Amino acid sequence: MKLIFLGPPGAGKGTQATIVSEKLSIPTISTGDMLRAAIAAGTEVGKLAQTYMDKGHLVPDEVVIHLVAERVSQPDCQKGYILDGVPRTIAQAEALEAEGIQFDHVLSIESLDDTVIGRLTGRRVCPNCRAIYHIKGHPTKVEGLCDVCGGRVVQRVDDAPETVRERLEVYHSLTEPLKGFYQQRGLLREVKDTGAVADTNQVIMDILEGN
Ligand code: ADP
Ligand code: ZN
């Protein structure tokens, strides 16, 4: 099973991808996570990527496609995988097609701009164990400290309000056209953002089980 999760930043792609990954026993490939790992490791790719990511801009297509092509060739991807955050441009989608990769479903999570702005600007993350919180929806028990590991939670640089608006603009202009691209190939399935993780997941599982 090869799946793509599309949707604006803050739609919950990563959250849903993690749940579906576990249920289907296939890995999630998140280019955002891979790029943040490259930044943390101080690699050349990381240094280059950071200059784009901090501004809310896309990292060049070649960089991302190279990372993905390498990752999907690994043994744990034989049975399938979920792409989270990639492709993000028509050029990336064409590059994946050129690699001969075929997908079973493209799930587009449909969230309103105002919803995702509130989610992202209120998001706090633990850099240590990667737990995710929200100042209103899911606050830490002790202010500023991770419930899981006690580390200090922070705001992602690209979750600052101006950068969130920039990321949304990038989504609407460069990524949203992918819906038409995959619609033409008969693969697009729209999933309403219900606001509740379990409900949205049920909608997704129904699609994957062919209902
Ligand atoms: P979100 O979906 O919340 O914006 P991600 O973690 O998917 O978060 O992406 C964070 C940043 O990483 C993006 O704003 C972009 O700079 C970069 N990035 C991630 N995936 C891609 C991609 N496929 N193509 C180009 N840039 C990417
Ligand atoms: Zn933590």
As a whole number of angstroms, the distance between CA 157 and CA 44 comes to 20
Q: What is the pTM of this model?
A: 0.91
Q: Are residues 56 and 172 in contact, defined by beta-carbon separation less than 8 angstroms?
A: no
* Listed residue (33, 12, 47, 10) closest to 204, CA to CA: 12
What per-residue confidence (pLDDT) applies to 103?
96
Q: Is the CB of 31 under 6 A from ligand 1?
A: yes
Please, how many CA atoms are within 13 Å of residue 75, restricted to the half-sphere of its CB?
0
Active-site residue (options: 36, 71, 123, 124): 123
* Listed residue (107, 167, 115, 163) closest to 136, CA to CA: 115
Q: Which residues contact 15 (CB under 8 A, 6 or more apart)?
A: 197
Q: Are residues 131 and 125 in contact, defined by beta-carbon separation less than 8 angstroms?
A: yes
What per-residue confidence (pLDDT) applies to 133?
94
Q: Give the mean pLDDT per block of 10 residues along the chain (211 residues).
A: 96 93 96 94 96 94 95 95 97 95 96 95 92 92 97 94 95 98 97 93 94 69
Q: Is the CB of 58 under 6 A from ligand 1?
A: yes
Instruction: Return residues with CB closer than 5 A to ligand 2 (ion).
Output: 126, 128-129, 131, 146, 148-149, 151
What per-residue confidence (pLDDT) applies to 54?
92
As a whole number of angstroms, the distance between CA 18 and CA 82 comes to 9
Task: Count other Cβ atoms within 10 Å, centred on residue 66.
Answer: 13
